[in-house]
Structure 1
């Protein structure tokens, strides 16, 4: 055992330099993957069909498209690739916080929930599943916080620089659709340039419209990137079709989708209910993926136009935060839009004139009128016969003489039975 001795200043500096030189240099590409420090909570497995699945009915779409061959980037808190319903559907992705691969780790479940709404596979005994189960998720990790925790500009979960890098990385990783359920409440030039870069690469861009509605106290804060051109801004409704109270109102809301008490996956293995536009956005992203899989030749702008044009009417107008209406995946995939002018159809052929048929019709019209009058006459005769049948027996009984009701006998003292018998007149003495 060696005894500790106090070090001089020169000796201390030399020791620190030697220690630093002996440590490996951590380059960004070699950074360690994220490790979640919070306790593991698998949550509870949802066994019943969630309301948003009954509303959107994705099974009707699957004969036409399941999203196969489409890559959807989820820019969020990461995605847990080990979840049973996401296993095999999630790429390694990218961790923008450390600048290294490893977006398939999620410490707060937010990104896992978003990805599961898009791509969770069906599983026996589980009621929940995704809308486009055959897409590939490209997770881009930009935050270790729940996006729903952000409150205004002071509570952002991601910086503009990191957000912009994540968008560019998603494009470079081959994303066909990018889902952005993380919201900034200030314009950022880096993010704007990244959005423009993605649009030029023909990527469908979908973003949450934000959960900071002010209930008329003051205008809602402008959410980015939903407010940028080329981005589909998504608001949220509840199971009654009513805008979720916190869902923001503004021209940046292009469409609405279920976002109140939406069931989605949590990290590890479970499920829970989520609220907010963060969970309405992936339903639109999933539908965009279904369209791109069914019709690969459509551009991103055409996909966006299809989504808005096939939306169902909402309970409120666009000025109340409903945009073009409520997302309808079946219509979005199966209906075709066209900008061509209406095609002129040939005129209908003239009906040939048939004199004999017209004469027959006129005769039948006369017969019909005659039959009506005869029917009325017979009805009146029947009524008369019924009246006579009721009056004849009575007339015979009264010998057709008018009758009056007999007056009651005058009141007198009541008699006992012996007295009444004494005064009773024998029948032989009664007058006929």
Structure 2
């Protein structure tokens, strides 16, 4: 499903295709109208048992298929291999989305009290679209007997921030979403409430100063920011935000065959790719369903960041981002604008490998002038500068010693041939 390129995508804040309803012909063949505000960047595919509506929602979500086998991303990533090393315990991932339903058995005890920018007074646990619950489950769903599905970082705490309840109904977007200004406020709220990682499975197709400043606020405070790259490849790859901002890990989608999903956008804002087609996830209340979209690729990367933040707590957010990109598996067209970025996410390599060079898109975000530099960040930069000066001094002394040794190696043998002798100490 895509929008016509003739629509004013770059002039408005629009969706990159939603989830929560089956992607039948009515959805796939009719473009949705542009809608202001950030909305989820996912598309539904299919599913299994009936899903109960979240409390206070107008209508129940669509029926879904039973889960009969481990989903392909789990077969690819084998999270049980990571469990002895890290589970994301002690790490908080903010899911700024449609809410996260904590009633789902696999999310019980993993969802903190968050906030609701759609309905003041809420704690972020209402999810009328199913999008945020699915995203959160890819990160943190607990293993359960008899259930094939589990999250990549099941020890992670989820901080829900509700900003949208949009769904696609008969090919058109339906439901509320917050303004860009409130989305920026959601980002700052999550940072101020101790989020270590932000998962932004939402897309805005306009560069908003408030959102840009909020992302800079997060990056400057050592928060890993992960965002979906958008699903409008067929509509000309309009520039997606926040994925296109400096300091953000932009994530595209691949299918089970490792190839880029047809809808997944391409551009310099794609840092790497992760599973985003036919992805199994939890649905509000109970049960599971399948969906597609870069929305569902992003949480695999956010979960990997959570694993790293537990396993290597000394790493800064920038270093975590660098390691995730540097340990990506090779992909066809990677690094050549083919929509794969540095390659395909590999959580096990990211956690276990000790090397890793600089990412292809190493960037910094500067907050607006009224955002003061974080004292901890200033101190950290000072420590790095001091360490660099020491390293240069050591290198200089070492070079002098090597040069002296080389000189002696040439002079002393020559002196011996000329019967030189050291001065008599007496």
TM-score normalised to the size of structure 1? Answer: 0.67
| Partner in structure 2 of residue 332 of structure 1 | 350
Kindly indicate whether residue 322 of structure 2 is the aligned counterpart of residue 302 of structure 1: no
| Partner in structure 1 of residue 30 of structure 2 | none
| Partner in structure 2 of residue 60 of structure 1 | 81
Report which stretch shifted further, 251-260 or 139-148. Answer: 139-148
Instruction: Give the count of matched residue pairs.
Output: 307
Q: Note the C-alpha offset of 1:125.
A: 1.0
SS at structure 1 position matched to 2:202: coil
More helix by share: 1
| Partner in structure 2 of residue 77 of structure 1 | 98
Q: How does 1:91-130 map to 2 (within 5 A)?
A: 91-130=112-151
SS at structure 2 position matched to 1:336: coil
Kindly indicate whether residue 340 of structure 2 is the aligned counterpart of residue 322 of structure 1: yes
Residues 64-123 of structure 1: CA deviation (Å, up to 9, x unaligned): 101000000000000000001001000121101133341011011000000000000011
| Partner in structure 2 of residue 210 of structure 1 | 230
SS at structure 2 position matched to 1:100: coil
In the superposition, relative to structure 1, how do residues 65 and 150 fare at CA in structure 2: closer, same or farther (>3 Å)?
farther
Supply the distance in 2 between the matched residues of 1:65 and 1:274 (Cα, whole angstroms).
27
Report which stretch shifted further, 258-267 or 316-325. Answer: 316-325
| Partner in structure 1 of residue 362 of structure 2 | none
Q: Note the C-alpha offset of 1:42.
A: 7.0
In the superposition, relative to structure 1, how do residues 338 and 129 fare at CA in structure 2: closer, same or farther (>3 Å)?
closer
Gaps of 5+ in 1: 1-32, 345-432
In the superposition, relative to structure 1, how do residues 155 and 96 fare at CA in structure 2: closer, same or farther (>3 Å)?
closer
In the superposition, relative to structure 1, how do residues 116 and 202 fare at CA in structure 2: closer, same or farther (>3 Å)?
same
Gaps of 5+ in 2: 1-53, 358-387, 399-426
User: Greater relative contact order (Cα 8 A, min sep 6): structure 1 or 2?
Assistant: 2
Supply the distance in 2 between the matched residues of 1:247 and 1:77 (Cα, whole angstroms).
21
Q: How does 1:131-210 map to 2 (within 5 A)?
A: 131-146=152-167, 157-210=177-230
SS at structure 1 position matched to 2:318: helix
Does structure 1 retain, via aligned residues, the 8 Å contact 2:164–2:176?
Answer: no
Does structure 1 retain, via aligned residues, the 8 Å contact 2:265–2:339?
Answer: yes
Supply the distance in 2 between the matched residues of 1:151 and 1:184 (Cα, whole angstroms).
17
Supply the distance in 1 between the matched residues of 2:314 and 2:168 (Cα, whole angstroms).
34
Residues 221-240 of structure 1: CA deviation (Å, up to 9, x unaligned): 00000000000000000000
| Partner in structure 2 of residue 424 of structure 1 | none
Residues 33-66 of structure 1: CA deviation (Å, up to 9, x unaligned): 9721112667444241000100111111111101
Supply the distance in 1 between the matched residues of 2:232 and 2:286 (Cα, whole angstroms).
30
Kindly indicate whether residue 257 of structure 2 is the aligned counterpart of residue 240 of structure 1: yes
| Partner in structure 2 of residue 408 of structure 1 | none
In the superposition, relative to structure 1, how do residues 115 and 149 fare at CA in structure 2: closer, same or farther (>3 Å)?
farther
| Partner in structure 2 of residue 277 of structure 1 | 294
Supply the distance in 2 between the matched residues of 1:148 and 1:242 (Cα, whole angstroms).
29
In the superposition, relative to structure 1, how do residues 148 and 227 fare at CA in structure 2: closer, same or farther (>3 Å)?
farther
TM-score normalised to the size of structure 2? Answer: 0.68
| Partner in structure 2 of residue 350 of structure 1 | none
Quick one: which of 267, 271, 284 aligns to 1:254? 271
Supply the distance in 1 between the matched residues of 2:137 and 2:231 (Cα, whole angstroms).
21
Residues 173-202 of structure 1: CA deviation (Å, up to 9, x unaligned): 110000000110111011001001111110
SS at structure 2 position matched to 1:320: coil
Residues 403-422 of structure 1: CA deviation (Å, up to 9, x unaligned): xxxxxxxxxxxxxxxxxxxx
Q: Note the C-alpha offset of 1:159.
A: 2.1
Q: Note the C-alpha offset of 1:156.
A: 9.3
